[in-house]
Amino acid sequence: MKPLVSILMPTRNRPLFFKKALDSALAQTYDNIEIIICDNSDNDETKQVVETYLSTYPFIHYEKNETDLKYIGNMNKCLSLANGEFVNYLFDDDLFDPTKIEVMMNYLLLDEDIHLVSSPFYFINETDEVLGTNESIFRRGINWMGSGQVMIDQMVGKICNFVGVPTTVLFRKSAMKQPFGKYHEFEFIFASDMALWLDLLSTGKCVYLDEPLSYYRFHQGQTTAEDEKSWGKVMPGFIEGVQLVVIVGREKLAQSKEHYVLMLANLLKHYEEKLLQLTNQHHNDVEIPNELGKLIHEAFDCIKNYENEV
């Protein structure tokens, strides 16, 4: 029998989009899946949708949260209920291509050291119209397989989630070392998915396919994890980006000293630009958290971890 894949669906107050997402999960050509739904809604509309499926699809497991678990809590609850060795989140407003799980599993089963498989995705609107695709960091026309360090250098070095949003990534659950949204002593919201990818890539290989296999929806009323945190006059993700770099420095995850130094240079350039934007927005009244300076100092101090390299 093929290995079980757990499709995890955290959801909140989007019954119409949720139904489309669920239908795309049920349409998968891979024939050994379970679907875990954790409903964070403040009404029963999504529950009513799910109830119409349960008698036909016994591999759907539904739970209604008694309290609002927020984004990180609901992601981890889904994960705690997963029985499969392989996991793919599916956000309630996104869609899977019917062959997504099957195509990606073909790669994950090639090598136990492959910890995740991702691909580009289509942008769609409220009516499922395709608006375009995101850009791959690799040459078009090839399926890339390689060390996680290569992807870490791209993702953390440029402070950009090149791996993909959670809907796009199928990963090996046993390779996770910490819960979703946490790495080392740091807790992430804005970069919670990047923290998970860093966790997985730190000890394994990655595959990035050329073909888009999922759909990321733009729509009115769209919310994200960072909307749950009051940022005030502090740039969203300001500290979290530095925390990711610190982890790379501590664990010596960059490919080389040169790559790590370039990562630091890009970090400073990126945040200089963002800080100027924030300063203009708030007329020079910007809050700089005390821990930011300490983190940046540690990030630079980690250069010594590469001192034996050329």
Q: Report pLDDT for 236.
A: 54
Band (21; pLDDT cuts 50, 70, 90): very high
Distance of CA 209 to the CA centre of its chain: 16
CA distance 130 to 32: 29
Q: Is the pLDDT of residue 136 over 80?
A: no
- In Å, what is the CA distance from 7 to each residue of 54, 81, 90, 98, 235? 16, 11, 7, 13, 33
Nearest to 158 by CA among 184, 183, 194, 132: 194
Residue with tokens 């009115």: 220
Q: Report pLDDT for 59.
A: 98
Band (224; pLDDT cuts 50, 70, 90): low
What's the predicted TM-score (pTM) here?
0.92
Q: 154-157, long-range: CB within 8 Å, 24+ apart, which pairs? A: 155/194, 155/197, 155/198, 155/201, 156/194, 156/198, 156/244, 156/245, 156/248, 156/263, 157/254, 157/259, 157/262, 157/263, 157/266
Nearest to 1 by CA among 31, 25, 35: 31
Average pLDDT, the chain: 91
Band (194; pLDDT cuts 50, 70, 90): very high
Sorted by sequence, the CB contacts under 8 Å of residue 266 that are 6+ apart come out as 157, 158, 159
Class of domain 5-226: alpha beta
CB 204 within 8 A of CB 148: yes
Residue at 17: amino acid letter = F
Band (234; pLDDT cuts 50, 70, 90): low
Q: What are phi and psi of 168, to 5 degrees?
A: -85, -15
- How many residues does the structure list for the chain? 310
CB burial class (10 A; 0-12, 13-18, 19+) of residue 137?
middle
CA distance 111 to 90: 24
Band (232; pLDDT cuts 50, 70, 90): low
pLDDT in tens, 256-303: 999 999 999 998 888 788 778 777 777 767 777 778 889 999 999 999
Which range among 9-23, 89-103, 220-234, 291-305 shows the weakest confidence by mean pLDDT? 220-234
Helices and strands (H, E) in the chain, number of each type:
9, 14
Reduce the secondary structure of 72-136 to three states and give it as a string.
HHHHHHHHHHCCCCEEEECCCCCEECCCHHHHHHHHHCCCCCEEEEECCCEEECCCCCEEEECCC
SS3 59: coil
Which range among 24-28, 47-51, 115-119, 138-142 shows the weakest confidence by mean pLDDT? 138-142
Nearest to 17 by CA among 216, 208, 200: 216
- Which tokens sit at 291? 């821990």
Q: Is the pLDDT of residue 168 over 80?
A: yes
Domain range summary for the chain, segments of one domain joined by +: 5-226, 230-306
Which of 224 and 287 is assigned the larger pLDDT? Answer: 287
Gyration radius of the chain over CA positions: 20
CA distance 294 to 290: 7
Residue with tokens 């209604």: 64
Nearest to 223 by CA among 63, 91, 39, 62: 91
- Which tokens sit at 201? 């890539």
Band (141; pLDDT cuts 50, 70, 90): confident
